[in-house]
Structures are given as structure tokens and as C-alpha cells.
Amino acid sequence: MIYLDNAATSFPKAPGVGAAVARALESPLGNAGRPSSIAGLGASRIAFEAREELAALFGVPDSRRIAFTKNATEALNLAIMGAVPSGGRLAVSSFEHNSVMRPARRLVVEKGVELIVFACDEEGKPDPDSLASALAARPDLLVLTAVSNVTGAITPFEEAAALCLAAGVPFLVDGSQAAGHLPIALGDTDISAFCFAGHKGLLGPEGTGGIWMAEGFDPPPLLYGGTGSESASELQPGVLPDRYEAGTQNAPALAGLLVAARFLSRTGLRCVELREMALRDRLVDGLRGIRRLSVLGPGAASRSAPVVSLTARGISPAELALELGKREIAARPGLHCAPSAHRALGTLESGGTLRLSPGFFTTESEIDETLAAIKEILA
């Protein structure tokens, strides 16, 4: 099978991930933060080492400011729900995923929050005037995806962070499509919080994700409960990361994420980025040479993530995906949980696009086979 749905969940995983998960499941790890015996130390060690490895990968000095969640959606909910008060203001881009838009709409309905949606161009990059207008409204939080999960466009999120700092507006980045794909030194930016998924570019298992929060960004927890610390108190502890990690951690999955993060550190994120950009360019160049196809987003040779969306005259994205599936090529049709982005692109009413997302382990021959299959289908 040729797997081109890495923007949803990466496959294959980093070498050793499956074995690490299996070892953890077969070992008496206990619960992280609750080392009542030598077994309990196993889960705590895994969580600590995974946190340290990710801190190094993301370029942050204090790993305690990384809290694990079961996915990026939970992390985004934690930040958005916690940072925006009743009757407050929230600004988001028109290209955000439903992991941002749905909690945002809930805040509008249930807490009377004013939602400001600032426009983006056809690639997904914010319109400067629209962004400036949103900042002038002094929202309680501004949210921007680092990479569009529809077009692969890399937004100017570091520049937006500086603008937010100057305006005194906390800035949240959805890094779901950036983490593991791009070299990012979060400690050198003005970003307030960065949410990530472990099962996409980080090449780890599903059920992993998290949030990094800069000093001064301390929203209330999303969940409350046992942490293994300050157990004599019925109040949530204030110590990090325990404050945000109520309940039992997914130690086997974190063991896999630890192995994946180590692989990426050894490989180097710049190496990953260059490899994936070359694959994306090969794909885009080939697609643009096929009649009846329209490719959305950045062209070849533009710095972008390995995500490509296309439409074809005379065949729906779902039908095209079905025909590719018959040839054992996995691709993703539809709206990609981002109707706002498709509305901005003009593809909402027509059923969205077909998304092809190669990954670090995709080969050039697989790209070429996919291009040949699309030509055959359209012929």
C-alpha cells in the first residue's frame, strides 16, 4: 500500500515505536506520579524522559511547562476554554481546524464570547490588514494554525507572535501539522502556547499530544482529579505539569512517543523538512502537469509542509479517492475537519478536496506511482 494520509495519522511510525509500546504493555509500569513501588517508577520515568526529549526538540528550557494530553484537540480546548472569559473576545483565522472552531463556537453560545475571524489568502496565510484589525480589538486570545491542514501553507506564526506581544494579546499556535515537520525553537519566540499531536509528524502513537505554555500563560485546567502530588488536598495542585495532568497517563503510548522523539532528534528536523519538501515538490510538479487538475495552496519550491489538496474536473474528491483506494493508494477526500478553510477556498459546497500528504518515509517511486495512477483514472 502507498500511504499518503500522513496529515491525519503518520504511517509508518518511527523505528522502534511499536516495540516500545509493546514492552511498556508487558512491563509492570504502575502509574506516573504515583511511585508506591519500584514498578510505579517505570511510568514516571517514561513521562519524564518523553517530556525532556520533546523540550529539546521544541527548543524550550523548562520541560515542566509541557503538559501531556491525549491529543492536540484536548490541548487546544484546554487553552481556549481557559484563556477566554465569559463575555470576552476570541480571534481566530479563517483557516482553523474544528479543534479550534468548535470550542470557539461553544464559547459564543454558552459564554457570550465575541468571535473575530480574520481572513487568510488562498494559501491560508493571514491577511495583514485583517490580522491588524483583529489585534486592534484587543482579544483575550488569538489563535493561528502554524500549518494549514488543507493546503500545507506555513503561516507567518512567529511574526504574528511578535505582533501579538506588541498588542498585549496572548497568542496560541495550533502546531498539529508543524510538530515533527519543521524546526521550531519555541523558547526564542513570543508564542504564548503551542499545541501538538503525537501521532502526526512526531511519528508517535495515537492517544498522545500536549501543550507547551510560556511563562505567564497559566489557564485553569480542563480536567481535575488525581495526580499523585499533594494528595492530602482536595484542590488541584499548582505544581507543573501536575496541574494539567489529572488522571492516569497513557504510559505505553508515551513510551512510543519517547522513541519517536529520539529518532527525530537524531535525524534532525531540518533534515526532515528538506526531505518532505522535496517529496511535496515532486508531487506538486507532477500534479500540475496533469490536465483537469487544480492544485490549491503553495506551488513547488515554496517553503511548505507536505500537504497537497487538489480538485479534478468531472470527478468528485470522494470518487477519486475511491479509485486510488482500488489501486492501494491511501488518500483523504472531503473537508478535513476544516470547513472554515474550505469556505475560504471556495471548495466547501463541492465536497472539499482530495488531500495527499506524504511523510518522511514516503519514497520517490511511491510519488511517481501515485501520479501515474491519477493520470490513468482521469484518462
Read off the pLDDT of residues 120-135 as tens digits, 9 standing for 90 and up. 988 778 999 999 999 9
Does the pTM surpass 0.85? The reply is yes
Check whether the bond before 317 is cis (ω within 30° of 0): no
- List, in order of start, the domains of the chain with CATH numbers: 2-11+269-378 (3.90.1150.10), 17-267 (3.40.640.10)
State mean pLDDT over 341-361.
Answer: 95
Q: What is the largest CA-CA distance in the chain?
A: 70
At 302 the pLDDT is 82
pLDDT over 70 (residue 199): yes
Element (H, E) at 200: none
Pairing of strands 2-3, 329-330: parallel
Q: What percent of the chain has pLDDT over 90?
A: 89
- Tens digits of residue pLDDT in 34-71: 555 566 578 889 999 999 999 999 999 999 999 999 99
User: Is residue 98 very low, low, confident or very high in pLDDT (cuts 50, 70, 90)?
Assistant: very high
pLDDT over 80 (residue 303): yes
Average pLDDT, the chain: 95
| Residue corresponding to grid cell 487546544 | 76
User: What are the phi and psi torsion angles at 356 (to 5°)?
Assistant: -115, 125
